[in-house]
Amino acid sequence: MQIQFENQYINTYQNLYSQTKRTQLVMEAVVPDVNDDIGRIISVQSSVLLKSKEAYSKRICISGEVHAVLLYITEGDEKVSGVKLSKPFDLEYENEEFSPDTLGQIELTLLNNEARILNPRKVAVTTELAGELTAYRQAKALVKTSLTKDSPDGLHVKEDSVKAFFADLVQEKTFAVTEQFAFDSSQATPQQLLSQRVNLTCTETQQVGSRLIVKGIADIQVWYLADGIAYPLKARFKEPFSQILDASDTAYEYSRTGFTLTSSYFDLVDTISGDKALEMELHVLAQTTGYRAENVEYISDVYSNRAPVKFEACDRNLIRDMHSFSEYINSSEMLPFVDDCAEIYTVFSQITQVFCTSGALSVSVPLEILYATKTGTLASVRRVLQLSKELTKPADRILQIEINDLTIRQNEGNVEARLSIELFLENITEKQISMITSVDLDLEEAFDMEAFPTFSLVRTEEESLWELAKEYHSSIMAIEEMNETAEQSKGRILLIPKQI
């Protein structure tokens, strides 16, 4: 006899795929005719742009471009110049379940930069690109299973419940951030932009009805040349932005938004007052996932006092909890330096490696220091900071990492490097449940109820009331009524009645 269930489903997005692919890109460029020959490499500043993301049958294709600016000291150690490099890339992810309706979210990260001089007029930069793709598809999730009202007598089920998170929103939106920034009037007037870096961070997500308001900040750093100054100057600007996404009326317990640049434009412009300003235009792709919380009610065990029961069960991994949190790594380290340093001009830094294993964080930060020698020439040196920290709570994913503050101070033959890094991390708690999906009652092999004792006097061990009821052909309610209690403890004697 097949027992019928009443099942309740919700619409959701199933996370069907998550994988990181890495590829190595080699870029070459020739120094423009108007620039001087390369004497020594200072630093490589790189960025990645997403150009397209397309889903097909059994595959998802990602394409984009990596851009880099190689900063160098010219021959003769007199000044700093730069050369631009770029390289297109393609990443392809394959899976039998991909279709044109699959929704993919991509996170692109540049991990390492290595530069070499091929000749005084030609350079090569090798970089490693990582692309983490998470793919979703629309699906239905079973959130409640119960017996129908016409279920046969003597059939008992154990009902459990657990709070779980389900993806209810998978959406993306492109938008632009434009602004004009004034330079510090106490600094020399900019004449030429050398390089820039953009860091986009989500600061707040707020749901208002069926709208999701996502707020963020663009952290922009630019290096430029000014008349009469041989080394690059640095300026930093921050521009807040917000976007409204269509959502649903369902309240989201948790959401995450990542930002990816699709294009960027920077230029020096003249203002009405005759000063120089930085004109910026960023084109950004926001990728958002929102999660709702549902109480999953399911049958975890079943038995019958009348006949043998056969059942099928499936294991489900459910997300019990999701939340993000911040961790800070502060470091003050004395690094060996050079003896001929007269003055430190500027420092270029970029996080290249981040590892999160066994509850600990490890971060590698190269420092490329441009300085003046005691003879008045320009020189550079590279040092690497290795930072580590035990996490205050488990982390499953690094959402964002940024350098908040960096100061370098010369101290005789050493330099003191003070660094503050903020990491945005995500913790996911999962639970596996076994959910009974079908029950078959074998009435042809029905029990001879007369063969079972009417009452059983049992000294209990570690059994639950459910386990005792199942073993002695009773029910939890019957045991409780007979013994006038719902409590169970080891060594207690219970009178368990047979129940048909």
Looking at the predicted structure, is the pLDDT value of residue 275 above 80? yes
Predicted local confidence at residue 391, as pLDDT: 87
Predicted local confidence at residue 415, as pLDDT: 87
**Among candidate residues 142, 144, 139, the one with its CA nearest the CA of residue 161:** 144
Lowest mean pLDDT among 7-16, 364-373, 396-405, 487-496: 487-496
CATH architecture for the domain at 450-500: Roll (3.10)
Mean pLDDT of the region 381-408: 88
Quote the mean pLDDT of the chain: 91
Predicted local confidence at residue 488, as pLDDT: 67
Lowest mean pLDDT among 40-44, 126-130, 309-313, 487-491: 487-491
Looking at the predicted structure, is the pLDDT value of residue 355 above 90? no
Q: Which residues pair with 369 in a beta bridge?
A: 347, 381
**Distance from C-alpha of 496 to C-alpha of 467, rounded to nearest angstrom:** 12
Looking at the predicted structure, is the pLDDT value of residue 399 above 80? yes
Predicted local confidence at residue 41, as pLDDT: 94
Mean pLDDT of the region 297-323: 92
**Distance from C-alpha of 266 to C-alpha of 177, rounded to nearest angstrom:** 12
Spans of all domains in the chain: 16-140, 152-306, 321-429, 450-500
Predicted local confidence at residue 262, as pLDDT: 97
Looking at the predicted structure, is the pLDDT value of residue 191 above 70? yes
Q: What is the pLDDT of residues 111-123, one digit of tens each?
A: 888 999 999 999 9
Looking at the predicted structure, is the pLDDT value of residue 413 above 90? no
Q: What is the pLDDT of residues 468-493, one digit of tens each?
A: 999 999 999 999 888 876 666 777 88
Residue the block writes with tokens 């960027």: 264
Lowest mean pLDDT among 21-35, 79-93, 255-269, 399-413: 399-413
Instruction: Compute the C-alpha angle 308/312/317, nearest 5°.
Output: 140
Predicted local confidence at residue 392, as pLDDT: 84
Mean pLDDT of the region 417-432: 92
Proportion of the chain above pLDDT 90, given as a percent: 65
Predicted local confidence at residue 486, as pLDDT: 62
Model confidence band, residue 106 (pLDDT cutoffs 50, 70, 90): very high
Predicted local confidence at residue 279, as pLDDT: 96
> How far from each other are the two terminal CA atoms of the chain, in whole angstroms?
18
Looking at the predicted structure, is the pLDDT value of residue 77 above 80? no
Beta-carbon count within 10 A of 304 CB: 23
Looking at the predicted structure, is the pLDDT value of residue 212 above 70? yes
Spatial contact of 385 and 364, defined as CB atoms under 8 Å apart: yes
Predicted local confidence at residue 335, as pLDDT: 86
Classify strands 122-147 and 5-30 as parallel, antiparallel or unpaired. antiparallel
Identity at 455, one-letter amino acid code? F
Proportion of the chain above pLDDT 70, given as a percent: 99
